[in-house]
Amino acid sequence: MIILDKVSKSFNGKWAVKGLDLRVDKGEVFGLLGPNAAGKTTTIRMMTGLLRPTEGKILIGGYDIVKEPIKAKSIFGYVPDKAFLYEKLKGREFLKFIASIHGIEKSTAIKRIDELLVLFGIKEIEEELIESYSQGMRQRLLFLSALIHNPQVLLIDEPFVGLDPFGVMMIKDMIRRLRLEGVTIFLATHSLHIAEELCERVGLISKGSLISIKNKEEITTEGGLEKLFLKINS
Amino acid sequence: MKTTLLLLTSKIISIKNSITLNAFLKRFPFIFIGLIFWVLFYSGTYKVLNFIRDMGFFGEILSKKLLSITFFSLSIFLILSNIITALSSFYMSKDIPFLMSKPIKIKEILRLKTIETISSSSWMVISFIPPFFIAYGVSYNAPFRFYLMLILTFIPFLLIAGGIGITAAHLLTRIFSMKKLRLSLLATGLFLFLSLYLLVRSQWSISPESPERFFNAMLNIKTDSPLMPSFWITEFVMPFLKRQTPDTSYLLLILCGGVFMLILSGLIGNRLYSNNIERIQPSIKHGIKAGTEGFYPGDKMAFLWKDVKTFFRDAGQWSQLFIISALIFIYIYNFRTLPLKTLSEIFPFMKEFMVLINMLMAGLVLSAVSARFLYSSISLEGMAFWIIRTSPVTVKKLLRAKFLYGFIPVTVILLAVVFITNIAMGTDHLLMLLSGVTIFILCISISGLGTGMGAMYPRFRYENIASISTSPGGMLFMLFAFSVVLLTVSLEAWSFYSYKKAVLSGSATSYMQIGQLVTAGILIITLNSLAFFIPMKMGKKRLEEDLSV
């Protein structure tokens, strides 16, 4: 479902990501784990089309993000690490806007918005301007907006930033449920326990290069992610 | 004080880091334009001053009056500018949460913000006013002491305005909420400005027959209250021009006034700031339920719908309409008061000439309005632009939506303005049609130019909305926009003049004249098409590049 083929990205001659090769299957939860400035956000931003790879290609659901951006973008949802939203729109209006640009028909959109608002626990504040939302509420709204068009792929950058314990539990449940529905989830994080708990496979990235990919069994037999993480950073 | 200096150092280092050769080269055209302005302002003031002073004793009174009116106007401008800047700097600045969370005393934050407010409110005055005073100095052959004393008194003059502005900002925030405050302030400012304009305009109906009426009106303007800093500075500085001894009590008054106003603003700030900061935080009103579903935009209308909603909710955006409305009001009012009938009896082609001037002026208004509605439209997406970039919509579609968002109001406003002013001038049908079509073409091309250039130079991280259109890219847009307007109107004038001459002489239109008309038409369409398509294409390319926000 996701293919990164020898993907590299340089900024002013410096490589932020170098030769990234990766495949994520349909319905898999894949975690990209690495310390700060390892290249996780750059990778995910290239996958969303916000940055263009300097080398290599990225396929989402078979669509090249550079050559067929519209088709690729219509099948994924993206949750960034920083929740910059349209402050002067109300929560519900923002969701209607997102549904509109995804071309969702009115009655379907309204039904889906209502369902998700209840599910994410923000129905109460749907008619408030986003500028008054707390960080946690914004994060929930972001998740909700990424799911409005029933994406086949969900790209998440640091999924639990600003969420309270209840919010964290809710998102974890959501990720598990989406996986069962066949949604492919790619999450970039530096949180070891999240990667360990949610991901079937974890890619360890450092200084822009993928060091290794481990599945759950390998992680357990090699003494857990903490040990692996320390190893790549030593 | 040590902490204030430390905080200030970080700001100075930021400014220092942004001064590079590249940045200088980018700004060079603007520095050059600024220098031209200085030269023009200096020579204009110098000529006016010499003309006035040639009138002998009466001229000397007028010269002093001009200086006093200038100081008076500067103080009003500075106070208003300081209030608006203080509101942004003390209460809306992005570094406030950072500063408040650090072990820094409120007193230190207030000092830092006071320095920031006064310097950013005064830099414009400091940049454009020197030629005026230099012209005074040269005209009077003033000694070096004049310039020295002027600087010595001008600094406390700026501090007084700053102190008043900051104090007013603290008090106003105490009384109103932030949203209402900015609104009421703008409305008051606008009301004051228009009242002053109408008052002065009614007294100064400048006609060639009565220059003395102009001077009388000027002398009657009351700016000489001994309670005003503008009076103190005029009374202290003027004797230096004439090599006389000034009354030092005015120097003391202005120096003490500066210190006093700074202390007062500090005391009021200390008392109100913490509470005010708490009061202006946005909060959720729980329990509000949605009523009916309302409008669902559909994919084609989504951007327009979102932009219109945001526009009406963001006081920072729509409050600029006040300023634009004031401009348009003054513009229409001026046309209504023009003695066109008398003038057209004296000069042939006067009405036609005025229609062209009207189109040119309308083009200027169009450029200014487009800078706000169209040039800024992409940047206004701000840090949330990632939403569009990760959505299944093309940049082309986004640009088209942004174009429509600005083009519709801009065209309605401009066509209305041209129509009203043409009616006020009694323009005939042909000229009315010609100017209507021209303005419509210009609205399309300038709207495209604005949208495209806004996309070429986006500023997603802006401090305030006005800074988008006043950025170097915004100024470049204004320059291009006005050049397109000027060229279009000049081409029309060229062909229209030739046509009208043939009609008036009663001779049949020659092939040469027809050729001239067709050439002008082709050139106008080509020019406006290029102004539309090239920036749109370049803007599209720029927005498809890596997004750095």
Sequence ranges of the domains in chain B: 65-279, 298-543
Q: Which amino acid is at B349?
A: F
Determine whether the interchain pair A86/B306 forms a contact, defined as Cβ–Cβ distance below 8 Å. yes
Mean predicted confidence (pLDDT) in B30-53? 86
The token pair at B278 is: 């708490």
Q: Higher confidence at residue A218 or residue B165?
A: B165
User: Which chain A residues have any C-beta within 8 angstroms of a chain B C-beta?
Assistant: 45, 48-52, 69-71, 73-74, 78, 80, 82, 84-86, 88-89, 92-93, 96-98, 100-103, 106, 109-110, 124-129, 131-133
Alpha helices in B87-143 (DSSP H): 96-101, 106-128, 130-140
Bridge partners of residue A55, in order along the sequence: A8
A132 closest CB neighbour out of B282, B383, B391: B282
Mean predicted confidence (pLDDT) in A74-83? 88
Mean predicted confidence (pLDDT) in A51-79? 92
Q: What is the pLDDT of residues B482-515, one digit of tens each?
A: 889 999 999 988 887 777 777 777 776 777 778 8
Q: What is the pLDDT of residues A117-146, one digit of tens each?
A: 998 888 888 888 898 888 888 889 999 999
Determine whether the interchain pair A85/B387 forms a contact, defined as Cβ–Cβ distance below 8 Å. yes
- Residue B282 per-residue DSSP state: -
Measured between beta carbons, which residues in chain A are less than 8 angstroms from residue B286? Answer: 124-125
Phi, psi of B523, rounded to the nearest 5 degrees: -65, -40
Q: What percent of chain B has pLDDT over 70?
A: 83
Mean predicted confidence (pLDDT) in B63-89? 85
What is the ipTM metric for this complex? 0.85
For residue A147, is pLDDT > 70?
A: yes
Cβ neighbours of residue B76 closer than 8 Å, sequence gap 6 or more: none
Asked which of B284-288, B294-298, B373-377 is least confident by mean pLDDT, the reply is B284-288
For residue B73, is pLDDT > 50?
A: yes
Domain range A2-75+152-233, CATH class: alpha beta
- Helix B395-425 crosses helix B298-313 at what angle (to 10 degrees)? 60
Q: If you count them, how many residues does chain B have?
A: 549
What chain B residue is nearest to A131 in terms of C-alpha separation?
B282
Q: B119 with B166: CB under 8 angstroms? A: no
pLDDT at A73: 92
pLDDT at B345: 65
Domain ranges of chain A: 2-75+152-233, 85-150
Least Cα separation, residue B381 to chain A (angstroms): 8
pLDDT at B132: 94
- DSSP H or E segment with residue A226: helix A225-233
For residue B142, is pLDDT > 70?
A: yes
Determine whether the interchain pair B296/A96 forms a contact, defined as Cβ–Cβ distance below 8 Å. yes
Determine whether the interchain pair B386/A96 forms a contact, defined as Cβ–Cβ distance below 8 Å. no
pLDDT at B13: 80
The token pair at B513 is: 């004249």
For residue B206, is pLDDT > 60?
A: no
Under the banding of pLDDT at 50, 70 and 90, the label for residue B134 is very high
Q: Residue B471, SS3?
A: coil
Nearest to A206 by CA among A43, A4, A64: A43
A121-135, B174-188, B445-459, range with greatest mean pLDDT: B445-459
Distance, CA of B374 to CA of B520 (rounded, Å) = 28
Under the banding of pLDDT at 50, 70 and 90, the label for residue B434 is confident
pLDDT at B539: 94
For residue B426, is pLDDT > 90?
A: no
Q: Residues A18-23: contacts with CB within 8 Å, 24+ apart?
A: A18/A208, A18/A209, A19/A55, A19/A56, A19/A209, A19/A210, A20/A56, A20/A205, A20/A209, A20/A210, A21/A210, A22/A203, A22/A210, A22/A213
Q: Given CB atoms, is B302 within the 8 Å cutoff of chain A? A: yes
**Which pTM value belongs to this model?**
0.70
- Residue B289 per-residue DSSP state: P
Q: Given CB atoms, is B208 within the 8 Å cutoff of chain A? A: no
Q: B80 with B122: CB under 8 angstroms? A: no
Handedness of CA B144, B149, B152, B153 (dihedral sign): negative
Under the banding of pLDDT at 50, 70 and 90, the label for residue B208 is very low
Rg, Å, chain B Cα set: 27
For residue A229, is pLDDT > 90?
A: no
Q: B318 with B179: CB under 8 angstroms? A: no
- Residue B288 per-residue DSSP state: P
Q: What is the pLDDT of residues A185-212, one digit of tens each?
A: 999 988 888 888 889 899 989 888 988 8
Distance, CA of B369 to CA of B312 (rounded, Å) = 17
Q: What percent of chain A has pLDDT over 90?
A: 47
The token pair at A91 is: 């929560």
Mean predicted confidence (pLDDT) in B244-270? 93
Asked which of A46-55, A75-84, B22-31 is least confident by mean pLDDT, the reply is B22-31
Nearest to A202 by CA among A177, A224, A180: A224
pLDDT at B209: 46
Mean predicted confidence (pLDDT) in B353-370? 83
Under the banding of pLDDT at 50, 70 and 90, the label for residue B37 is confident
Under the banding of pLDDT at 50, 70 and 90, the label for residue B102 is confident
Q: What is the pLDDT of residues B288-332, one digit of tens each?
A: 455 567 788 877 788 889 988 888 887 667 666 766 777 777 777
Nearest to B218 by CA among B43, B61, B49: B61
